[in-house]
Structure 1
Amino acid sequence: MRADAIRGGLRRFLDSDIGWSFRRTPAAWLSALVLAILVASAFLAPLIAPQNPYDLSQIYIDKAEIPPIWSADGEWPFLLGTDPQGRDVLSAILYGTRISLIIGFASVIVSMGIGVTIGLLAGYHGGRIDNLLMRLGDTVLSIPTLLMAILVSAIFRELLPPALREPFAALVLVVSIALTNWVQYARTVRASTMVERRKEYVLAARIIRVSPSRIMRRHILPNTLTPVMVAATLNLGLAILSEATLSFLGVGMPITQPSLGTLIRIGNQYLFSGSWWLVVFPALQLGLIVLSVNLLGDWLRDALNPKLR
């Protein structure tokens, strides 16, 4: 029964305007296919990875810095070689991709929640509330995004006891990235809310004394979600890239829980010693993810734009 429902939903999607646009845009379905493979391989890492990079019993020091399998000194099963600790690079990339994706998705969801809430309040109430919230957004935008994320991350790390900094490193990154990316959602929702609140259905709801929170949640919010979803798709790649940048700078994920940014930072230290695979393959993985997400976001923005239909 569930399989029939899934097939029916997929058929309705393919027959819709967006589905037709998806099928007619090679960049969209190719990027979706690549992204699906990368996401599936990351979350199936415990099943397909040759090694668990977090399990010290599976790390062999005598296998340190083995080159990729196609090199003369390559060894099976280390397809992409090993790092100076004897950790399989492919396994580390798969596990690191999972961490980067989780942080990216979580930070987008949190920043979208903050931005949508602030945008609804500012657009519906207007006046002093609108001015206060939008000036707060202007203040956030006046500080460079990366600097703001580093500042927030450093503050949260100092507030945590030393023993909790590594276990809560991912949560700190999510909060740091979310607090720097909510302004775009707030401005988008505010603009849509200011248009929607003047329409007849909102005025009718006010006349029958529907509460403002219910009007915003049940009536205005559904009509503002289209631009929000486009912005979320485009910001997902930026969030993943922000996490990688913070980890590369040493204020992100620790070595014991490496993300793609951490792997690139570690590999960069050995780049000029000949171990090029330590930085090249994680960087390629990160580039593929961000490129696929951005191509999907560009397609979705064009597909949902009524002026281009």
Structure 2
Amino acid sequence: MSKDNEKKDEKPNGNNGKKNQLTVQVRYQADTVTVETNVNASITSLLEKALIETQNNSVPKERFQLKLDGAVLDPHKKVNDYPIVDGSLLVLTLMAGGGGTKAICYSNEMDAVNIQFVDSEVTQQKFSEELAVFVQLKEEYRKKGILLLEQRYPDLFFAFVAPSLFPMPIAFAVRINFINYDVQPLSVKFVHPLTLEPVTNDQIPSRLRRKLEGSTQSQDLLQADSDQIPFFCIPGVREYHEHPYHNGDSWFLYRKKGGEGSLCFILDNLHLYGTSHLTSYLVQFNVHMQMPALGLSSNPQDLPL
């Protein structure tokens, strides 16, 4: 057989004939992505590509690690130092306690310590973008009773007024925190509308109630644990996803899908469940009270789903 015929009979290697190229699968949270690499590439290079494909490249790579069959891959080694073949499944995970040398700590009365592990410029850019969207819709939100009280990065403070009542009460106020957004969802903390200090669950007159579909019962979306710190219990809110009851409902199932978890998404839902259905005052008398208690009420049939 001639050399020309031998060349015609040769079959290319996998990966479209690209020598030493590999295509691996990388799983992060609920998502699995495809990453191309080279057998001679470093694990660090593979990690960087995996971060790009999983949209985590705004986070320092030192915060992450790759695993193969449960074993952590040494970033200083090469791909061919491990039994990685075409189609191998790797797992991308956050390193426990890793903060990197660029980590920034934020501390205030409402948070013990928040570690800013995402590039702060990226978070500030997202903060500005989300705020700009709100500003464009500011008049529409004002008519709904949603008022921006104060802005100071990484926080925005909003008050929620019940516009159907007269006099119009401030039903509640919140601090929305952008630390590590949108690798982490936005945090929603309930605060006093004048002092902006945190409040307890019993200090919020609106229970952020919704109607259960196919039932006459309702559900309070304002929840609190034994510490009485209230939180808004819907997907897309940091406190929801960090609660142990929801550890199977990852933020990454919602991130970048239909606007869930955005600033306007949270404002719209706080209004929907918190103030849109409030139509009357509720006066409560008790023989032990020096003054009657004034609450907010709504028609159960008017509750949103």
TM-score range, shorter chain: under 0.3
Higher Cα Rg, which structure: 2
TM-score normalised by L of structure 2: 0.23
Higher strand share: 2
Higher helix share: 1
